[in-house]
Structure 1
Amino acid sequence: MENQLFAVIDVETTGGGINGNRLTEICIVLLRGPVIIDKFTSLINPEEEIPRYITALTGIDNSMLEDAPKFHEVAKNIEELTRDAIFVAHNVNFDYNVLRNEFRELGFEYTRKKLCTVRLSRKLIPGLFSYSLGRLCDSINIPIINRHRAEGDTDATVILFQRLLSLDDNFKVINSFLHARSRQATLPPHIEAEQINELPASPGIYLFKDRQHKVIYAGKAVDIKKRVVSHFYDRMSKEYQLGQETFHIDHESTGNELIALLLEAECIRKYYPKFNRAQKRPGPVYQLVSYTNQRGILQLAMEKTNKNREAVGIFYSRYLAQEKLEQLCREFNLCPKYCSLQSNVEECSHYSIVSCEGICSGKEEVEAYNKKVRKAIASLTEESSTFVIREKGRSFKEEAFVLVKEGQYQGFGFIDAETQISKLEDYEVFLKRQTATYHTNKILSNYLRKQGAPKLIFFDNESGTPPDRPVARAKRNAAVMASHGTLSLFN
């Protein structure tokens, strides 16, 4: 390492997010070992306006950059100066990615080995309250002149890096960070590799937490370790910022994806993490409603809403709602016109439904037709089923289950694979109760539609024991629950 070249670099940018950032200033100090051998600094014309908040932070404004060179005019100099050097920066992924993106705009790939002085400092100077450049330098008496300008920050980082070199006996830490299989270069500055190594490669949820252990992101995965690491390879601005604010990672294994999805939804409801966008609010559903028209005919209609309204059926897509209406028409000989499947017609003429018995043409009595509609509605709401979904556990010695009681999601649990279960109460002993929401019911509805009956155990609502129910009947109930509101959506 005594003859190794290090390029200590800091950049200032337009602040447009990690992928939209353009350089406004760069400083490179080249070291051989701890000895400074060259220096390059320059303003850069980004060919776009500088936001006011960036000018307030750095002092760099549009007038300063009018006559500055464009990046393509200094790119060759930067490439040659850093060619055989290790790229060193405070929070290296930011500076490195900004510079690499500038080269990509010119059609060139810029690749260097990286070292992060934040991560090195956490390892070699442990126990400090903060490792931001300003506070770290204050803590160990390194002066910073001209803060938030490339040259001033680079000069301070050089002194810091020289001190880190002196603390690293035989360069063991630096060599470990540079090892080809080391994750140190890609991990966010506040996450130790040990936290990642301890994560399991199994289904479950993970929680990213900030310095105060507040949850800022909740996610689910079929492979927790692989999914967590993937966040740090993603170069999107949101993922980068998430990494910058993450100090701790917690996880919980679930053994299967279904419970991981349900637990993720519960964590988002409970913690409302700042980096989660989905599942913070209920989405719209398609409801089947009934009303009596001016002729006294009981009609069925479909409406899209995100409010709690009285409905005879609830669906998560227009396709499912329309499919159910068509099924009801065929099964109960209803009229497509009075089921909102056709409009602006005197008599129904649906391309595939020919079961209408003449209510639209006056051939069928209104009361007789309404009786059929009431039967159709009853078929949608006749059962608020109680059932258990059996799934894989966290090990081969246990099984997982999800409980729905009288159409209401209750929660999940884990039981020993050899435990004998004969009635509903046996499951409730192991139940981890959860809150039923729009999102948990949508998860269960999608699961039932895909999986069907094989993993379900039904119970009589009154006795709490499995009924003597034919397989075909169980499959029908699973299909019904998947397609409409036997699961209670609004609470």
Structure 2
Amino acid sequence: MYCIVDIETTGNGIKGNKITEISIFKFDGEQIVDEFTSLVNPECEIPSFITGLTGIDNDLVRHAPTLAEIAPSIIAILRDSVFVAHSVNFDYNVIKNQFQEIGHSFVHKKLCTVRLSRSVFPGYQSYSLGKLCSSLNIPLVDRHRARGDAHATVLLFQKILATPESDSVLKRFLNARSQEATLPPALSKLQYDKLPMTPGIYLFKNAKNEIIYAGKAKNIKKRVLGHFYDKSEKEVQMCRETQHIEYELAGNELVALLMESATIKKHFPVYNRAQKKRVTQYGIFQYEDRNGVIHLAFNKAAAIPKPLITFYSITDCREYLEAICSEFNLCPKYCHLQEHVEHCNHFRVAHCKGICRGNETVDSYNMRVKESLKIMLLNRDNYFIKEKGRTMDEDAIVVVQAGAYYGYGFIPKEISLGAMEDIMAYVQPQKETVETKRLVTSYAFKNQEKLILTENYTYNGSNDRSLFS
């Protein structure tokens, strides 16, 4: 048994959307056996542009029942039926969210007549209800009212069931493992099936072939599916607009992040927001106190004239200082990892030689501080990062010149490169931005064993000499 459903709403996304009219036809595969249609009081104002589209205004629903009042009738007619709608995820999720608000669960198998039509009636330019009805000679009366659209969808569903392949198509779509009901209505399942389960970037494109979202993933296919399961308003709207998905392999997460950032800065997709936020930078600096002790400290980079090294989160900044303290036996108090203490007692850095207790001379302590400064300044040198390539036959490289991100590339393992000039032949130059600098700086600090100096260094595909070894 099937229930073909259509709703009209106040048009405020998914979670903020309120139903103004609902129509349900119970269909046994051959004929309509029951019907429920009702206006619904949304208990909020209906925007004028919605009234212009549907003809439903505040006066029309003022004395209509609320959803809570008609919920028992909806539950009764939907019982033991498959929920069918045109662009099913929209109608289904609006009803589900409103049912949850009034204390009812809402779980049904579902079918999308957009996706079913794409499968059994291939080749049409548009699969909107109006265009399909026109192409298939289906009468559509009272467009953009729930009963008119629902009845037209019944007739469309009837034509779908009449096709020779309908049994196998419905069986596949109702199979929980098929993911057909989860995919956006305009997206071909073949496109989704071709997505790889490896690191890279993916691009959601609309009907005009415009990039509306760029993302990165360790597993492209799994991450893309995650978007389709996400029922937030932004995700649902984005998925409804998605008609094509393209991807590019990266081999590893770092290169995928850099690819994603470059794509966002080039195309400014409408649904990418994260990299539009302002990023606060933090810097490490040095100063000498009245006793001649050299301090290392950190602050917002904007407040430091010439930071020794810059980070894009205060956590990374503190972790770097902790590593420096441990490596050179420096004092957490004089590195400002502990404030307002007479003597240091840091729980992670316990190798201070006693400068804070008068057990070490200032000259001896300052000598180690100066050695640590050399390491910080070394970060401004030329190096590259070796990472996993897209295939077993190559390595990925990310190049840094004079402390600035230069670009990335892929080098065949069998090629022996003897100079930086040879490496550069495989590198795609990129613009350094605040985001890419943050990505490379953070990665370099956390993965120092993968940083390889280019001076006096011969790349042979296997050397792993670290920048800090």
TM normalised by structure 1 equals: 0.79
Q: Which of 279, 285, 293 does residue 283 from structure 1 map onto? A: 279
Where does the alignment leave 5 or more consecutive residues of structure 2 unmatched?
346-351
Q: Percent identity?
A: 45
Q: Shift in Å at residue 413 of structure 1?
A: 1.6
Q: Shift in Å at residue 215 of structure 1?
A: 1.0
Verify the 8 A CA contact 1:287 1:311 in the aligned structure 2: yes
Q: Shift in Å at residue 312 of structure 1?
A: 3.9
Verify the 8 A CA contact 1:201 1:223 in the aligned structure 2: yes
In structure 2, the residue matched to 1:111 is 107
In structure 2, the residue matched to 1:459 is 454
- Aligned counterparts of 2:151 and 2:268: Cα–Cα separation in 1: 41
Structure 1 residues 200 and 287: alpha-carbon distance in aligned structure 2, compared to 1, 3 A threshold: same
Deviations 1:56-115 (Å, cap 9, x if unpaired)?
332323332232222232222222212232211110111111222233334333222211
- Aligned counterparts of 1:286 and 1:149: Cα–Cα separation in 2: 56
**Bigger mean CA deviation after superposition, 9-18 or 299-308:** 299-308
Q: Shift in Å at residue 233 of structure 1?
A: 0.9
- Aligned counterparts of 1:252 and 1:135: Cα–Cα separation in 2: 34
Deviations 1:340-378 (Å, cap 9, x if unpaired)?
9999x9xx96767985899xxxxx9xxxxx999999877
Matched ranges for 1:376-455 at <5 A: 380-381=376-377, 384-453=380-449, 455=450
Q: Which of 254, 259, 266 does residue 263 from structure 1 map onto? A: 259
Q: Does 1:189 align with 2:185?
A: yes
**Bigger mean CA deviation after superposition, 108-117 or 372-381:** 372-381
Structure 1 residues 210 and 232: alpha-carbon distance in aligned structure 2, compared to 1, 3 A threshold: same
Matched ranges for 1:67-466 at <5 A: 67-169=63-165, 171-280=167-276, 283-288=279-284, 303-304=299-300, 311-321=307-317, 355=355, 380-381=376-377, 384-453=380-449, 455-460=450-455
- Aligned counterparts of 1:341 and 1:170: Cα–Cα separation in 2: 68
- Aligned counterparts of 1:307 and 1:50: Cα–Cα separation in 2: 50
Q: Shift in Å at residue 319 of structure 1?
A: 4.8
Structure 1 residues 308 and 157: alpha-carbon distance in aligned structure 2, compared to 1, 3 A threshold: farther
Structure 1 residues 189 and 371: alpha-carbon distance in aligned structure 2, compared to 1, 3 A threshold: same
Verify the 8 A CA contact 1:332 1:373 in the aligned structure 2: no
- Aligned counterparts of 1:6 and 1:106: Cα–Cα separation in 2: 25
Where does the alignment leave 5 or more consecutive residues of structure 1 unmatched?
359-363, 365-369, 478-491
Deviations 1:177-202 (Å, cap 9, x if unpaired)?
22332221111011111111111111
Aligned-residue Cα RMSD (Å) equals: 3.8
Verify the 8 A CA contact 1:218 1:268 in the aligned structure 2: yes
Q: Shift in Å at residue 418 of structure 1?
A: 2.4
**Bigger mean CA deviation after superposition, 137-146 or 426-435:** 137-146
**Bigger mean CA deviation after superposition, 196-205 or 105-114:** 105-114
Q: Shift in Å at residue 175 of structure 1?
A: 2.7
Q: Shift in Å at residue 394 of structure 1?
A: 1.8
Deviations 1:324-350 (Å, cap 9, x if unpaired)?
78969x98999989x99999x9xx967
TM normalised by structure 2 equals: 0.83
**Bigger mean CA deviation after superposition, 93-102 or 46-55:** 46-55
Partner SS, residue 435 of structure 1: coil
- Aligned counterparts of 1:202 and 1:336: Cα–Cα separation in 2: 45
Verify the 8 A CA contact 1:425 1:464 in the aligned structure 2: no
Report how many residues are paired: 456
Q: Which of 23, 26, 30 does residue 34 from structure 1 map onto? A: 30
Letter in 1 for 2:454: F
- Aligned counterparts of 2:378 and 2:219: Cα–Cα separation in 1: 40
- Aligned counterparts of 2:301 and 2:42: Cα–Cα separation in 1: 47
In structure 2, the residue matched to 1:480 is none
- Aligned counterparts of 1:8 and 1:219: Cα–Cα separation in 2: 35
Letter in 2 for 1:458: L
In structure 2, the residue matched to 1:56 is 52
- Aligned counterparts of 1:307 and 1:134: Cα–Cα separation in 2: 60
- Aligned counterparts of 1:115 and 1:342: Cα–Cα separation in 2: 60
- Aligned counterparts of 2:176 and 2:424: Cα–Cα separation in 1: 50
Q: Shift in Å at residue 138 of structure 1?
A: 3.1
Verify the 8 A CA contact 1:282 1:438 in the aligned structure 2: no
**Bigger mean CA deviation after superposition, 392-401 or 90-99:** 392-401
Partner SS, residue 68 of structure 1: coil
- Aligned counterparts of 2:157 and 2:237: Cα–Cα separation in 1: 24
Partner SS, residue 390 of structure 1: strand
**Bigger mean CA deviation after superposition, 279-288 or 299-308:** 299-308
- Aligned counterparts of 2:273 and 2:55: Cα–Cα separation in 1: 34
Structure 1 residues 87 and 432: alpha-carbon distance in aligned structure 2, compared to 1, 3 A threshold: same
Verify the 8 A CA contact 1:334 1:357 in the aligned structure 2: no
Q: Shift in Å at residue 310 of structure 1?
A: 5.3
Verify the 8 A CA contact 1:207 1:219 in the aligned structure 2: yes
Q: Shift in Å at residue 250 of structure 1?
A: 0.6
Letter in 2 for 1:152: G
Deviations 1:235-270 (Å, cap 9, x if unpaired)?
111111111111110111122111111111111111
Structure 1 residues 349 and 325: alpha-carbon distance in aligned structure 2, compared to 1, 3 A threshold: farther
Letter in 2 for 1:252: E
Verify the 8 A CA contact 1:335 1:356 in the aligned structure 2: no
